[in-house]
Amino acid sequence: MATRRPRSHCPAQHRSQPTSPAQNLPGQQEAEAAAIALGLPAARGEHVKPFTPEKAKEIIMSLQQPAIFCNMVFDWPARHWNAKYLSEVLHGKRIRFRMGMKSTSTVPQFETTCSYVEATLEEFLTWNCDQSNISGPFRDYDHSKFWAYADYKYFVSLFEDKTDIFQDVKWSDFGFPGRNGQESTLWIGSFGAHTPCHLDSYGCNLVFQVQGRKRWHLFPPEDTPFLYPTRIPYEESSVFSKINVVNPDLKRFPQFQKAQRHMVTLSPGQVLFVPRHWWHYVESIDPVTVSINSWIELEEDHLARVEEAITRMLVCALKTAENPQNTRAWLNPTEVEETSHEVNCCYLNAAVSAFFDRCRTSKVVEIQALRTDGDHMKKEFNVSDHVEVGQTGSQNLTTGIGKPEARSHFGPDLVPVAQRSEEPPSQRGGMFESDGKDFDDKDGEHFGKLHCAKTQQIMSNSENAVEEEIVSNTTTVPSQTFISTDDLLDCLVNPQVTRIVAQLLIQRRNL
């Protein structure tokens, strides 16, 4: 199954010489003080990473709000992977670029509406210099009107004949032994390049900014009803929003005004942690940006794969029946091809079997289902062992015990991404959208105000949002007699609905 989200050694003459740690890392004394506070060895004059791999993983696995890791990648060889350097490493290799319009439309630029160009990085850099009368693959795209994005480039395909380069990325520093470029994805874009707002179905995300800056707009899972989720265009691992979050149509999507926007500008040398099921819209705000990311698998992914299999089956069945000859109108380009009903049935069975296989290696499966008609339906079933199906606010799923927050670790080397109440200006500078005041309290009290509501509040807010959306849609939108296939799918494969269906399937299989 095609999915883009879970999921060296270069010639010496091409590699930039690393600068000293002191040149790369401002606030060295503060970093050393933080290291000492954490019980790490830090000799005077010698920079030490603020978190050990074990501590970094503990933070990642407990933190439920996006945050920036600082001073963790200064010794990574990939720190010097700017676009010029990569053009030399990948000399002559043609890469697919997504071409989008620099526009102010309220409609998201989904990948199905973009054009695509096969070009080398050298050709991209030449075009990006805004040279007139340019020839080659970009000749039909005016640099002043278009942006280009080489997105979702998996290392294993991009560097298939240069596998030693995988070692230039060291996710092991974040507590994942052996994880490197082999489990990573590369992104290279021009000013304005962006991904439409979406959430990733699987895992959590670590993003290392190498060159240029990217602005991230993030929304918590409990805001899902306010973001009007859709599975068209369809991609196995992504739930898209119908809203252009940087230029929303509030008349059509009034509930979006209630969404809790968190913002940060990610700068080179920083690593952003995006927790599971956080919505995000990402835009390049410098002439050239280079990023590397890795999606970290989570225990909750076992159930998520059942939900995704249900979604695939329904979307493929209805959309291919509607128009068998025009799959590209609804199938995201990252999906290789639409799959038959028979294949989708096999995929669903495999996902359910894998879920139970995982259960047999643990102890107890406990699922608290969505509240229906105002009541909670708690479903528990034993499968000889235990698997914890995690918590997501938008889907009201809890394990009974919330993950502890890593509040005490916030400081100069771990910065929470703050909520912004105002609409973002078109250009906002600065290293972070939040300042030190957002995380000064040593007891973590201020951060507690920024953090998402507690589980019960999240569940209540999410359910109320669905009810309000229904009321809003029936009172403000003129009645329509025509219901499209996409309208039906928006209901059938809503994340909350597929969660209930997945639970019912698992219950029936376990009887």
User: Would 274 be classed as within a structural domain?
Assistant: yes
Q: What is the DSSP letter of 119?
A: E
User: Would 437 be classed as within a structural domain?
Assistant: no
User: Would 363 be classed as within a structural domain?
Assistant: yes
Q: Mean pLDDT, to the nearest integer, of 47-73? A: 96
Peptide bond into 233 cis (omega under 30): yes
Q: How far, in Å, CA of 24 to CA of 75, rounded?
A: 9
Angle between helices 485-492 and 301-322 (to 10 degrees): 160
Residue 244 shares a structural domain with residue 311: no
Longest dimension (CA), the chain: 73
Q: How far, in Å, CA of 126 to CA of 124, rounded?
A: 5
User: Would 378 be classed as within a structural domain?
Assistant: no
Residue 104 shares a structural domain with residue 131: yes
Residue 243 shares a structural domain with residue 142: yes
pLDDT given at position 28: 47
User: Would 166 be classed as within a structural domain?
Assistant: yes
Element housing 154 (H / E): strand 146-154
- Residue 302: phi and psi, rounded to 5, are -65, -45
Residue 257 shares a structural domain with residue 324: no
N residues, the chain: 511
Q: How many CB atoms lie within 10 A of CB 489?
A: 20
- Please say if the pLDDT value at position 269 is more than 80: yes
- Please say if the pLDDT value at position 400 is more than 90: no
The per-residue pLDDT for range 297-350, each reduced to its tens digit, is 999 999 999 999 999 999 999 998 887 777 777 888 877 677 788 888 887 888
Cα separation values, 364 from 301, 385, 395, Å: 16, 5, 21
Q: How far, in Å, CA of 111 to CA of 100, rounded?
A: 9
- Please say if the pLDDT value at position 446 is more than 60: no
Which residues constitute the domain of residue 154?
53-298
Q: How far, in Å, CA of 235 to CA of 4, rounded?
A: 8
pLDDT given at position 114: 94
The per-residue pLDDT for range 313-323, each reduced to its tens digit, is 999 999 988 87
- Please say if the pLDDT value at position 36 is more than 70: no
User: Helices marked H in 249-395 — which ranges?
Assistant: 301-322, 341-359
- Please say if the pLDDT value at position 271 is more than 80: yes
Q: How far, in Å, CA of 413 to CA of 409, rounded?
A: 9
Supply the pTM of this predicted model. 0.75
**Residue where a domain terminates, one of 268, 298, 328:** 298
- Please say if the pLDDT value at position 456 is more than 70: no
Residue 147 shares a structural domain with residue 215: yes
Residue 237 shares a structural domain with residue 354: no
User: Would 191 be classed as within a structural domain?
Assistant: yes
Pick the more confident residue, 485 or 173: 173
- Please say if the pLDDT value at position 231 is more than 90: yes
CA proximity to 38, closest of 23, 26, 51, 25:
51
Cα separation values, 201 from 136, 162, 240, 295, 487, Å: 38, 30, 10, 11, 21
**Residue where a domain terminates, one of 298, 322, 345:** 298
Alpha carbon distance, N-terminus to C-terminus of the chain? 29
Q: How far, in Å, CA of 499 to CA of 127, rounded?
A: 45
pLDDT given at position 407: 56
CA angle, residues 237, 240, 241, in degrees to nearest 5: 160
Residue 110 shares a structural domain with residue 240: yes
Residue 362 shares a structural domain with residue 252: no
Q: What is the DSSP letter of 411?
A: B
Domain count, the chain: 2
Mean model confidence pLDDT for the chain: 77
The per-residue pLDDT for range 79-120, each reduced to its tens digit, is 999 999 999 999 999 999 999 999 889 999 999 999 999 999
CA proximity to 75, closest of 53, 113, 48, 112:
48
- Please say if the pLDDT value at position 205 is more than 90: yes
At 396 the three-state DSSP class reads coil
User: Would 247 be classed as within a structural domain?
Assistant: yes
> pLDDT grade, residue 465 (50/70/90)?
low
CA proximity to 273, closest of 414, 405, 391, 403:
414
Return the CATH number at 161.
2.60.120.650
Range picked from 276-285, 369-378, 398-407 for highest mean pLDDT: 276-285
Over the Cα atoms of the chain, what is R_g?
A: 23
Can you read off the two tokens belonging to residue 39? 């019980």
Residue 248 shares a structural domain with residue 310: no
Q: How far, in Å, CA of 413 to CA of 35, rounded?
A: 10
Element housing 485 (H / E): helix 485-492
Which class for 163: exposed (0-12), middle (13-18), buried (19 or more C-beta within 10 A)? middle
Residue 266 shares a structural domain with residue 347: no
pLDDT given at position 25: 40
- In 201-276, DSSP assigns E strands to 204-211, 214-219, 229-230, 238-241, 262-266, 271-274
> pLDDT grade, residue 27 (50/70/90)?
very low
pLDDT given at position 214: 98
pLDDT given at position 501: 94
CB 73 within 8 Å of CB 271: yes
For the chain, give the percent of residues with pLDDT over 70: 69
CA 189 to chain centre: 17
